[in-house]
A and B are shown apart, each in its own frame.
Chain A
Amino acid sequence: MPVAFVERLGLRSLGTLEAFGDFFVFVFQTFRWLFAGGLAPKNLRLLPAQFYEVGVRSVPVVCVTGAFIGMVMAIETHAQFKAIGQEVRLGSVINLSVVKQIGPVLAAVMLAGRVGGALTAELGTMNVTEQLDALRVMGADPIRYLVVPRFIACCLLTPMLTIYSDFLGVIGGWVISVPFLGVPNEPYWFFSAQGVDTWQVMEGLVKSFFFGGAIGMISCYKGFNCGSGASGVGRACTESFVSSFLVIIILNFFFAHILRSMYTAMYGVRGLFE
């Protein structure tokens, strides 16, 4: 019995290590093609379709998410700030949270679901119907032809979508705070501008670039390596979302730590109530 347990554990560990190895080989091949032909005119003509799929079609869902998050932030924080007589500073807290954390992370999570799921399903279906093999036989490397354009679209358009999410989050927070809850307009924006500077906005956008890269890479990898049949594609889509979500949350922690240290080293600690 213990031998069987150790054997199972060993096999599972080896399987996990092998999957990690496969993933990093996949990432390496994608970067190799990115710099060796992936940006050639023949490949660039594949980009507009991916920009449309990843970017344009995601705008509504990202905007709605951003707007409601801003509104919820306003509702949840207003009472607390009013209790200490500081509701005029509501804008700084809402907008800082939106552009630095909630906007980029939620936009990325939405994209992991909408775009990541769609990419995995599309590539997974191509895999089980032998379309990937057909590409290889025709001398068109599927990583160059399919993965590189999708990866570029995810990297470039996630920050763009984050800008939409941030903008709608800021507007949503203002709509609830000022017209509905009666916070004075001028101080709201004065303290917002004081609490949020270019660094914080850029922090969110830099993170979202890497979130987009992770979503593109994980969803394409899962599609390329899905099991056979409809159930294999379905399972790959679920795994793709769960893995992307976990990676976004973990990356966010490391970015928070690194960027906070950089900010402190350059500008020192700034409080919201200074």
Chain B
Amino acid sequence: MSLIELRDVSKRFGRLVVLNGVSLSIEEGQSLVVIGASGSGKSVMLKHIVGLLTPDEGEVWFDGRRVDELSDRQLDKVREHFGFLFQMGALFDSLSVEDNVAFPVVEHTKKSTEEIRKLVAEKLRMVGLDGTQKKMPGELSGGQRKRVALALAIALNPRVILYDEPTTGLDPIRSDVINELILKLKRELNVTSIVVTHDMNSAFKVADRIVMLHEGKLIIDGSPQEIQKSEVPVVRRFVLGEAGDQELAGLKSSAPAAYTSSGGNGDREKR
């Protein structure tokens, strides 16, 4: 049986349909990358998996339990198996790096202060930031914040780590550091990873399997090699980073007639 399963999940916000009958199974230990344009529902899908959002229709399952029907207390238990790296890190501004990483440990375990201190140091070492314990999140660079957020996500040794756009806003070098970290955590902790991204370099580097969300539906599901070779136009343009006529239509129609080739001909000067 799959570790995580979405069955015909649909979600709308007002009149906007974000997910439209999405079905997906994720096996234990797999690294799944979800690609898709901005606003295609990738993060919404991720939030359904941990019960932050409930589907309008369909079912979400984790390890044989139906997540979308659990009570708050039951959900808290299920969420102990997840680590979540949010897009902006979501570190608590008022807490130091040490207190941030220690937060879930204090909430869920009865470890002593000394044990927590050691655990925090170990997790920060794993992301290459041991020694930053006393710093505040505001003193860290974007890449460091993401790495601290990753240390926080793995504090309870989760079975699944969800990454919401882990490389967004980072330069290529910092992005690669994050990609290497994702691979390292998979190797060392043997976790199941679900990475939402539109960074194709990152996707091809960390994925065992890639799916693409487009207009609320999964339009392709395959290995990185299969995605690279795909002839589906939407997938192909996304992988190559090429805008199509549909995306460019707005640019063309928004230009004033006087500036377009057909409407130009010096009309502007005459006026």
Tell me the A residues contacting B by CB distance below 8 Å: 42, 126, 129-131, 133-134, 136-141
Contacts and interface: CB of A to CB of B under 8 A. Distances in A.
A138 B79 contact: yes
Given A133-B47, A133-B52, A136-B52, A141 B88 contact: no
B107 A139 contact: yes
A76 to B, nearest CB: 44
B72 A141 contact: yes
7 contacts: A42-B107, A126-B92, A131-B92, A137-B50, A137-B52, A138-B79, A139-B77
Interface string B206-223: 000000000000000000
Contacts of B87: 130
A137 B82 contact: yes
A91 to B, nearest CB: 46
B199 interface: no
Given A133-B47, A133-B52, A138 B104 contact: yes
Contacts of A134: 84, 86, 90, 92
Contacts of B176: none
Contacts of B86: 130, 133-134
Interface string B73-107: 00011011010101110111100000000011011
Closest 4 CB pairs of A and B: A139-B76, A134-B90, A138-B104, A130-B90
B92 A138 contact: no
B52 A129 contact: no
Nearest to A45: B106
B108 A139 contact: yes
Given A137-B50, A138-B103, A129 B90 contact: yes
A206 to B, nearest CB: 33
Nearest to A131: B90
A139 B106 CA distance: 11
A159 B107 CA distance: 32
B187 to A, nearest CB: 24
A140 B50 CA distance: 14
Contact of A137 (B72, B84, B92): B84
A140 B76 CA distance: 8
